[in-house]
């Protein structure tokens, strides 16, 4: 069992022991790929961890962007969190219905907004249910709570910054997509995108970092996986994926390993793959 750390990852046992803490806030950050046929909001309404609020990453996003669930403006994030009763002084725990998938994206977003006390629930809702723990279908009682945001700009990268990093090779760009998508052999789930990867990037499929029960592997195991993929962990890293969701699983694993100099490419392949002027590579990662 992973060591509990309220700033990165906590166990179901930890959450069960802290359920009645007055400053604990639990968020259901479930999101599913369209081809799964799953409805995250409907699943939340059918049953969730007691007291959990639903965090919709498609709604708490930048509505001005054509890209999916991009980081929202600070003002929108603050407004949504106030309405959800989440704010200053709260210890936040985020889970999702897949085990460990989209919850890491919510964790990263709170880190970006300067909230330190936020953790992902290891194994998520499936592990909680498998252990026979309490669930409910009632919405929580919400009281407004102010949230102070101090945006940590170094935790996010845009296409211009990633393009420069790819040219200069001064960062390790780590792609969380499947090997088939990384090599350009499998089609992208979103229409109109080219196949392949950012030149110079390395492939660490997010699923390789998870155990069979969707808990995160121990830091020594994840470190070995990154190194086996050719990632030089002494260099600053940029994580990327299809649309900025599973890249956050890589970011969470890096944080658990004690690595602080990493950021996330918010637009990820949905942005990079649509621009014909941006270079792409296919096949395995180049040396």
Q: Which residues are catalytic?
A: 241
Nearest to 79 by CA among 104, 59, 102: 59
Sheet containing 202-203, strands listed edge to edge, beginning at the edge strand earlier in sequence: 156-157, 262-265, 237-240, 172-175, 202-203
């Amino acid at each position: 069992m992973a060591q509990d750390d309220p700033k990165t990852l906590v166990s179901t046992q930890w959450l069960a022991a802290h359920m009645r803490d007055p400053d604990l806030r639990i968020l259901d950050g479930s999101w599913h790929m369209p081809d799964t046929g799953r409805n995250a909001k409907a699943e939340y309404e059918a049953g969730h961890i007691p007291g959990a609020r639903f965090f919709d990453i498609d709604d708490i996003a930048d509505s001005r962007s054509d890209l999916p669930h991009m980081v929202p403006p600070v003002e929108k994030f603050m407004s949504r969190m106030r309405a959800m009763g989440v704010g200053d002084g709260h210890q936040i725990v985020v889970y999702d219905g897949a085990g460990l998938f989209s919850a890491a994206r919510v964790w990263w977003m709170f880190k970006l907004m300067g909230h330190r006390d936020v953790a992902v629930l290891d194994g998520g809702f499936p592990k909680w249910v498998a252990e026979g723990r309490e669930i409910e279908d009632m919405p929580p009682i919400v009281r407004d709570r102010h949230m102070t945001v101090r945006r940590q700009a170094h935790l996010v990268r845009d296409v211009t910054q990633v393009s420069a990093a790819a040219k200069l090779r001064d960062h390790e760009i780590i792609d969380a997509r499947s090997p088939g998508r990384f090599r350009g052999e499998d089609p992208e789930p979103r229409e109109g995108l080219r196949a392949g990867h950012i030149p110079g990037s390395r492939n660490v499929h997010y699923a390789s970092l998870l155990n069979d029960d969707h808990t995160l592997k121990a830091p020594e195991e994840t470190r070995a996986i990154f190194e086996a993929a050719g990632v030089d962990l002494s260099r600053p890293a940029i994580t990327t994926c299809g649309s900025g969701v599973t890249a956050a699983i890589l970011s969470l694993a890096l944080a658990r390993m004690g690595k602080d100099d990493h950021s996330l490419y918010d637009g990820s392949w949905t942005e990079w793959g649509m621009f014909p002027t941006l270079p792409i590579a296919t096949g395995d990662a180049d040396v």
